[in-house]
Amino acid sequence: MATALVATFAAAPVNAATSPDGGEADCPSSLSVDAISRGVNAIECNLVGAEIRVDGLGLYVPEPGTGVSMEAIGELEAIHSEVSTSPDGVLSVEGDGPDVLRLAVNSAFVDSSLEDSHVSAQTDTREPDYSRCLENSATVNANWFIGYVEYELNTTENLPPGLSPAAWEALALESAETWSNGHNSCGLNYTQFDLNLFRLLNTTSNSNINADTSCGTNDGRSIVDFGPLDGTWLGWTCTWTNWVPGRPSYTIVDADVRIDSTRSNWTTSPNSSGCSGDYDIQALMTHEFGHFIGFGHVSEWGGADLTMSPELTPCDGSARLLGLGDLAVLSETY
């Protein structure tokens, strides 16, 4: 199997817009979600490294056998887009933003996973207020296949006023530990979770997430920082993945998190009387670390108030602790 795939890849032309049989390849003049849905070979069309904008956000066409995804959460919306290139060059895009939903609903090409997770989700009629401790919905995009992940925390730049480097580091550690130890608000004793998923290092470098709303390319360093986003988003996670034969999902090889430093409505005391319209940094970091280890948003139509719900509420720190669905996906994946 692996040998055949390598042979296919090696035989494919890398520069000319011709197909392996010598005919003209179907290379689009612009790289839209719709164009990709009609079938584009990134090798034949020489598109590796080209930028594609999905729902206004940038992802670079990854090398064959790799993928890149972004998860962003704002005050009123959240978005997920993922672009991958198969080992033999075929581009695919998934996600839950308007571009990809339109593709799923309208196009003759309907990816079965999109159909399952999104089209059906829109017709979900459950009440939005049921308990986070009864709801076990969860989404996995990919996962790490190593014992623990070293992430580098930038404690030197762009911190919001009032957040000391020590407080930022303590908050990051606690957010990571919530996932490693299954800390939850449901009274569930998940003693089997002693995962040590994360190791913290300090850095003065920046995450590979750009203010022009794009994920950079895989640099092999997983960095968490405060830095400028475009003002639309609270936090953002990019993950880079490799396709490995024999594994059920893409393997994460790099993940970066950025919290928007251009906004001032942050708090570390969501329950204090002084909180008004401010977002809890620790709740957000716990949510972003969920993305960091490969989990996606649960359906917002289901409305579960889980850590991986696509909504954060001002002055609400409940996402600091996991709900039932968050625990379910954790135990299933790690």
Query: What residue number has its CB nearest to Zn ion?
Result: 73
Q: Which is nearer to Zn ion, 71 or 305 (CB)?
A: 71
Q: Which is nearer to Zn ion, 63 or 71 (CB)?
A: 71
Q: What share of the chain is helix, strand, coil (3-state, %, to 5)?
A: 25, 25, 50
Q: Which is nearer to Zn ion, 41 or 69 (CB)?
A: 69
CB atoms within 10 A of CB 305: 20
Residue given tokens 């996995």 in the structure block: 140
Q: Which is nearer to Zn ion, 71 or 82 (CB)?
A: 71
Cα angle, residue 153 at apex, residues 151 and 155 outer, rounded to 5°:
170
Q: How far is residue 181 from each of residues 27, 139, 210, 237, 256, measured CA to CA in Å? A: 48, 19, 32, 21, 21
- Residue 220: exposed, middle, or buried by beta-carbon count in 10 A (0-12, 13-18, 19+)? exposed
Taking the C-alpha atoms of residue 248 and residue 140, their distance in angstroms, rounded to an integer, is 11
Q: Which is nearer to Zn ion, 41 or 309 (CB)?
A: 309
305 close to 299: Cβ distance less than 8 angstroms = no
Report strand pairing: 223-227 vs 214-215.
unpaired
- Least distance to Zn ion, CB of residue 297, Å: 5
Quote the longest CA-to-CA distance of the chain: 70
- Least distance to Zn ion, CB of residue 98, Å: 17
Dihedral sign from CA coordinates of 37, 38, 44, 47: negative
Q: Which is nearer to Zn ion, 37 or 222 (CB)?
A: 222
Residues that bind Zn ion (CB under 5 A): 71, 73
119 close to 111: Cβ distance less than 8 angstroms = no
- Least distance to Zn ion, CB of residue 37, Å: 24
DSSP state of 93: E
- Least distance to Zn ion, CB of residue 274, Å: 26
- Give Cα 32 distance to the centre of its chain: 20
Which amino acid appears at position 310 of this protein? P
- Least distance to Zn ion, CB of residue 291, Å: 6
Q: Which is nearer to Zn ion, 73 or 223 (CB)?
A: 73
Q: Which is nearer to Zn ion, 25 or 258 (CB)?
A: 258
